[in-house]
Structure 1
């Protein structure tokens, strides 16, 4: 083989290796939801960003601890943040209301309904979708939540929906698309071939969460993925929060916090060469 032929082979091998490496690249968004619903959630979410693998957080504007969330986020201007648009108040012992006058979206006490859709535990009388809701009231409420979040959180990049409220009806989906374009927050992972990353196995205990999360990481193939969960601490504050069908909130969400800050999880991400990204990276 001539020197020229050898050179072509070497270059060809290098190109193939580079292509193979690129083809096997894995990106992962780790999204922590429900910032604002309790003090313990606020603290835990920030911890999972500072000391863990959280890359994007979702803030609920009408919630009682939104103001604290804003102050915390101001200390981390590089943390990617989304408005977690909210039309439900699902927990017992802690409730919130719309920012606007929206009687078609609230119960007899003026609070958001607990659920979007009826289920085995919450019937039609406690589900927003079964009510005579008004699209114009949803629009004014979504606008109020987005505008307050944009005013207080400069690093805001996107919008998501709490409890699936942004997908409750085709008209609402169209509305959300319109608003995100108008406010410069139009990043939709589903449009960009981002795939869901889910636990691979049981997730009842902290140990099971960690094991199932690592199994998920090891199962990923080339592509971009997003994992979503809800960190908090197991404190008396969160122990008092529950709804029918989900009563172990504090212990469960403490497990999520422990998972997202776990050293073995971090080592696995490094070993597999997984790149942690946020919503803003999807636009690059």
Structure 2
């Protein structure tokens, strides 16, 4: 009897150990939905993909006119992870954004941010790097955005950058690393995440092909790795109809399909069946990562 009980306990402990091992080895995935604050259509779509989909982290653009609405929505979901999405561009033709501070080297003659970071052959003279930008102006503006975001959304957990502005020059990268330490806000790439496989959603022929490509991407995730997927949900509404710039005109369709993708039942089911753990930035022990690096 004792022998049988002992064997039974060994069996149970073995099963528990296997489960723990599986949990440790399962792929982890951050679904990052960018540009909350940019449009009301983006705000509500992003919240929808969090409530009824797979979004785990959102990136707040504090300069934009719809940021106040975004902040009200975020207050309704206190567990939703939020990063400050630092921005120094205003890429869309029919809506323009301005800095929080006086930074003359970062704006055009009308006081708007330039459209792009890097030169666009279809829109000459519209990129920051085509002008005499000043590092002190970028730092001044970044500081203002960080401080306003922390004031209005105290739970801000990390920093990300819009259109890759944090990588535009080594001096900018160095300055942003300094601000990250000063404000105790890790940058998104400080976590050592792997990017979700390049599934080229915008090149898929139709929505079903996008779903299939995303499912294939999920199937390819490796055990024990931590990945990040980045996209830009929005609603399929008239507000987005005339949002665009040269080279990217189908914004309404493209971003509304992102919303459908991140709430799609087949995708949610595949994540569950594969045992993929959806996580956010605030759940990662960043300090231990830093100590190991």
TM-score (norm 2): 0.89
Compute the displacement of 1:155 (Å): 1.8
1:14-163 aligned within 5 A: 17=18, 21-22=22-23, 24-123=25-124, 125-163=125-163
1:165-205 Cα shifts (integer Å, max 9, x gaps): 011111111111111111121144x3433100035364353
Q: Is the 8 A contact 2:160 2:187 kept in 1?
A: no
Once residues 225 and 97 of structure 1 are traced to their aligned partners in structure 2, the CA distance between those partners, rounded to angstroms, is 33
Q: Is the 8 A contact 2:30 2:280 kept in 1?
A: yes
Q: Is the 8 A contact 1:199 1:215 kept in 2?
A: no
Which 5+ residue runs of structure 1 have no aligned equivalent?
none
Q: Is the 8 A contact 1:30 1:54 kept in 2?
A: yes
Compute the displacement of 1:21 (Å): 2.1
1:94-152 Cα shifts (integer Å, max 9, x gaps): 001000001100011110000000133233x1110221111111111001111111011
Query: Pairwise CA RMSD of aligned residues?
Result: 2.3
1:199-221 Cα shifts (integer Å, max 9, x gaps): 53643532222111111001111
Q: Is the 8 A contact 1:86 1:165 kept in 2?
A: yes
Q: Is the 8 A contact 1:187 1:282 kept in 2?
A: no
1:221-260 aligned within 5 A: 221-222=222-223, 223-260=225-262
Residue in 2 that maps onto 1:272: 274
1:62-82 Cα shifts (integer Å, max 9, x gaps): 111111111111111110000
Once residues 147 and 250 of structure 1 are traced to their aligned partners in structure 2, the CA distance between those partners, rounded to angstroms, is 32
Q: Is the 8 A contact 1:205 1:252 kept in 2?
A: no
Once residues 62 and 107 of structure 2 are traced to their aligned partners in structure 1, the CA distance between those partners, rounded to angstroms, is 16
Once residues 231 and 204 of structure 1 are traced to their aligned partners in structure 2, the CA distance between those partners, rounded to angstroms, is 19
Residue in 2 that maps onto 1:195: 194
1:32-83 Cα shifts (integer Å, max 9, x gaps): 0011111100000000001110000001111111111111111111100001
Compute the displacement of 1:234 (Å): 1.7
Decide whether aligned partners of structure 1 residues 151 and 271 sit closer, same or farther in structure 2, where only a CA change above 3 A counts. Answer: same
Q: Is the 8 A contact 1:187 1:283 kept in 2?
A: no
Once residues 44 and 70 of structure 2 are traced to their aligned partners in structure 1, the CA distance between those partners, rounded to angstroms, is 9
Decide whether aligned partners of structure 1 residues 177 and 24 sit closer, same or farther in structure 2, where only a CA change above 3 A counts. Answer: same
Once residues 233 and 102 of structure 1 are traced to their aligned partners in structure 2, the CA distance between those partners, rounded to angstroms, is 33
Q: Is the 8 A contact 1:84 1:159 kept in 2?
A: yes
Decide whether aligned partners of structure 1 residues 11 and 42 sit closer, same or farther in structure 2, where only a CA change above 3 A counts. Answer: closer
Once residues 228 and 88 of structure 1 are traced to their aligned partners in structure 2, the CA distance between those partners, rounded to angstroms, is 19
Once residues 16 and 145 of structure 1 are traced to their aligned partners in structure 2, the CA distance between those partners, rounded to angstroms, is 47
Q: Is the 8 A contact 1:100 1:144 kept in 2?
A: yes
1:221-268 Cα shifts (integer Å, max 9, x gaps): 121000000000121110110000000000000000000011111000
TM-score (norm 1): 0.91
Decide whether aligned partners of structure 1 residues 106 and 187 sit closer, same or farther in structure 2, where only a CA change above 3 A counts. Answer: closer
